[in-house]
Every structure is written in C-alpha cells, then in structure tokens.
Chain A
C-alpha cells in the first residue's frame, strides 16, 4: 500500500478520528468530532436518531470524505486513498448494514461465499468448508439453502454477519444491529458480537441507540449529540455521569437539553389567532 504506516501498536488505536467536520450542503452533520477506537475492543457509539452515527461509519469506511479533519484506520489516512487502495483496505474491514443488505438473488450460502469468490481463488471444497464454518458461527448452517426473502430479520442479520466476517476482517462496524429484533434475537446478536470480538480478535464498532444492550457488551462508549461527542468512558462511567445531556439520553427523559418541542411561536398566541394559520 502506498500510504504511510505510522506505528499503530504504540497508541493501541485501530481507528482515529481527529477534528472531523462533515456537512451536506449548508447543514453541518459532524462538528469537530474526535474519537479513538481501541484495537481489539468493542467500542459503542450511541446517540439519538439523525445525530450522524451512520455518517461517521461511512467516513471510516471511506464512502464519504470529511470536509476537514483526519480519519485514520490502522494508521492509513482513509480520505486520501485512491479507489484501489481503498478497496484493499476495505477487504480488511466489514460493515453490517442496518437491514443486512444481503444480495437478494443469491441464497444464504452464496451470499456468505460472495466476498470470498470475489477476492480469493479457493478450490470449491475449501470454500465450502470456510462458508459452512462461518454459517456455523452464527448458528445458521442449516439455513444455507434459503433465499434472503425467506429469512426473518434476525436471521438475515446473522447471515450478513457471517458474510461480513468471511474475509476475516480486523474491524467490523455494526450499524444498529439490534433495531427491530425481539429480545431473544437481540441477545443472540449481542453474544455473537462479543464472541467474535474475543474469539477472532476483531475490533468492533457498535452503533446503536439501544442503551441497555449496548452497554452490556461494550468496553468503551461514546455518546453523540448533534454532530459532536457529549460524553465518553466505560459504560459504568457513562451511567454515573452527571452531565445533563448524558443523563437525558441514558434515562430516556423526553425533555432536557435536547428539547421535546420543535421550535414554534407562542402557544397562546397561536391558539388565539383567527382562521387557518
């Protein structure tokens, strides 16, 4: 790879985000955001809807470029990479999309085999071994012949997870892995994330607004407000934080620094106004 490789082992950080700004048109989405994702740990990024979590993952994955600031993955500056180097880097990272993003014209087996077929020349028997092993990891070896349309939401996400780890990445980003799942499926996914982390040494970034499930399996957590970090620490530290913004999110209070009401003119005046507004 052409880019410079600083010593990443020293800092223990796999992903470093430094003073990143990102905007879409006039709107600032991320504002002077910095965070560090430790190697081999599960790092959670929590925050309300629309605060820019998915955007952040897309910056790390190189699908978006920041307007300013640095994004380093394994010491490589992602925004500066050309297409080829970016693709090389992506082979070492995986992203689990919210809905799984399985290829609908391929069955479960072929979905998991897809990245391997694209990037490696493996003889068919070995490929079969690898795929079945990945499917066994997520407990869906028996579902290999089903089509994505025949899977439940939780199963689809597990297949997507098997596919994400099929190239044995160093980093996996999970975008809202818990939403829309029943408690049992949530538990299964949470257990898998933890096991992959400890078993395969995969660094995990877990984006979610599900406080309880996320805190239970993460080593470190960042809490995001509108485009910037409002709190960080181990899950315990965050739970015990006194900061008002953090408290509001963790306790799920409807009103606080994040206002309940959309800005509006005075209520009484509005009511007394004649005719349709």
Chain B
C-alpha cells in the first residue's frame, strides 16, 4: 500500500515537473523573440558552446568513423560488397550516429556546464540581482543559451558526420584497400538529401531543443546550494541522455520506413 502511494506520488511529481518545464519553455520562447535585437548575446553563447564541445566532437567523430569503416568492411567484404563501404559509413553517420552521439556528448559537456553555470548564478544571487536591476534573467541569461544550443547542435552534428566519413575513408580506403572512386561515388548516389540529410538535421534540431531545454531548466530550478547545483547537473546528463535515445527511436520509426 505504502509503495503504491509512493508510486502515485512519484507520478504526480513527474507530471508536475513536466508542467513546470513546459511553462518555463513558453516563458523562455517568448523571451527569445526579443533576441532579434540582441543577437550578439546568442553569438556569444554559440561561441561558448563551440569552445566547450568542438574538440571532443571532432575526436569522437573521427574514431566513430574509423570503427564504422573497420566493422563495415569486415561484414561487407564477406558478401563481396566492400565497394559500398562509403555508403554504409555515410548513412550510419548522417541518419543515426551523427545526431545521437553529438547530442549525448553535448549533454555531457555543454549541457552540464549550462546547468552548473545557471545554478551558480542563482546561488550567488546574480539572477536576483538582475531582476532588481530591471533586467529579466529569463530573457537575458536563459533565452540566448537555449537559442544557441538549438543553433549549435545541427552544426556540431554535421561536423561529426563529416569528420566521421573522413575517418571511414581513412580506414577503408587508406588501410583496407577499398577503391577510392567506388567509396565516394556509391556514397554520392546512395545518400539522398531529403530522406537522409534533412531527416538527420531535423533530428539534431530536436535534440538541440530538448537537451538545452533540460539543461537550462535544471539550472534555473536547482536548489541554490552547492549540493543542489551538483544534483541538478547530474540530472541534466541523465535526463537528456535518456530523452535523446528515446526520441531517436521514435523519430527513426517515423522517418525511415
């Protein structure tokens, strides 16, 4: 009975949290409209996100591409289809691994940093101070970060996929002797812009919204103590990773039939 009650309470709390997060999102979105005049704030945040994530995205992209090249070659060559390696690498990256792995890395690196930054600003009364200076922290602090996350994610995912393809080529063509012309031409003819590239971009935009939204919300709602901020940071990484993986399944099911 008691555990049933606890379950009920948990469900109620979750629903309430979702409701608050949704209201918060609407508030931030309406604050974001005013950013057209202050686009410098967004650019600043895109830069900050880029500094945090660029290196890790490039290195991971390279390795993921190389692994794809290796595994793909081993399987494809059994069927004498090693020439399709380029297509396999590109499709895997553009459709799935690019958006998903980028979003996971983004959550761990930029998302957690966002939560910690906002949480600390709250704990040190910087947000309250802004309010008293007649500056709305949701417009000035939160909205630019959300917009920057949404802009950066597809760019980072594109970089990830591009460097991944290079990694696959490095291993496939450079080491394993796949024909270079076949590698690129199969890729060119097999990857469709609408089906594959556009859907990949849509995925990473969605991930950008969700991950950054979770990160700023957790920061803004965090208990303003050092323990509260560290818990919030933790929650950002866990929730956004789960959300990315679950949403990826749903979107894949809807997009690729």
Contacts and interface: CB of A to CB of B under 8 A. Distances in A.
Interface of A: 61, 63, 83, 87-88, 90-91, 93-95, 97-99, 101-104, 114-115, 118-119, 163, 167
B128 to A, nearest CB: 7
B135 A94 contact: no
Interface in B92-151: 120-121, 124-126, 128-136, 140
A87 B134 contact: yes
Contacts of A119: 134
B131 A63 contact: yes
Q: Which 9 pairs, one residue from A and one from B, show the smallest C-beta to C-beta distance?
A: A101-B129, A90-B134, A101-B125, A87-B134, A95-B132, A115-B133, A91-B134, A97-B125, A118-B135
Contacts of B126: 101-104
A114 B133 contact: yes
B198 to A, nearest CB: 37
A68 B95 CA distance: 59
A87 B136 contact: yes
B225 to A, nearest CB: 14
A94 B134 CA distance: 9
A114 B136 CA distance: 13
Given A101-B129, A118-B140, A88 B134 contact: yes
A82 to B, nearest CB: 13
A115 B135 contact: yes
A163 B136 CA distance: 17
Q: B129, B130, B140 — which one has the most chain A CB atoms within 10 A of its CB?
A: B129
Interface residues on B, range: 10 to 19
9 contacts: A87-B134, A88-B134, A90-B131, A95-B132, A97-B129, A97-B132, A101-B129, A114-B135, A119-B134
A90 B124 contact: no
Contacts of A101: 124-126, 128-129
B136 A94 contact: no
Given A101-B129, A104-B120, A114-B133, 17 more contacts: A63-B132, A88-B134, A90-B131, A91-B134, A95-B132, A97-B125, A99-B124, A101-B125, A101-B128, A102-B129, A103-B126, A103-B129, A104-B126, A115-B134, A118-B134, A163-B133, A167-B133
B135 A63 contact: no
A58 B161 CA distance: 51
A90 B133 contact: yes
Nearest to B140: A118
B139 to A, nearest CB: 10
Nearest to B136: A87
B134 A104 contact: no
A104 B124 contact: yes
Contacts of A63: 128, 131-132
Q: A91, A94, A101 — which one has the most chain B CB atoms within 10 A of its CB?
A: A101
A174 B142 CA distance: 27
Nearest to A98: B125
A156 B45 CA distance: 26
Contacts of B130: 103
Contacts of B124: 99, 101, 104
Contacts of B128: 63, 97, 101
Contacts of A104: 120-121, 124, 126
A119 B129 CA distance: 15
Interface in B150-165: none
Q: B124, B126, B130, B132 — which one has the most chain A CB atoms within 10 A of its CB?
A: B132
Given A99-B124, A99-B125, A61 B132 contact: yes
Contacts of A91: 134
Q: B120, B126, B130 — which one has the most chain A CB atoms within 10 A of its CB?
A: B126
Contacts of A88: 134
Contacts of B140: 118
A101 B120 CA distance: 11
A87 B135 CA distance: 7
A89 B190 CA distance: 62
A63 B121 CA distance: 17
A94 B132 CA distance: 7
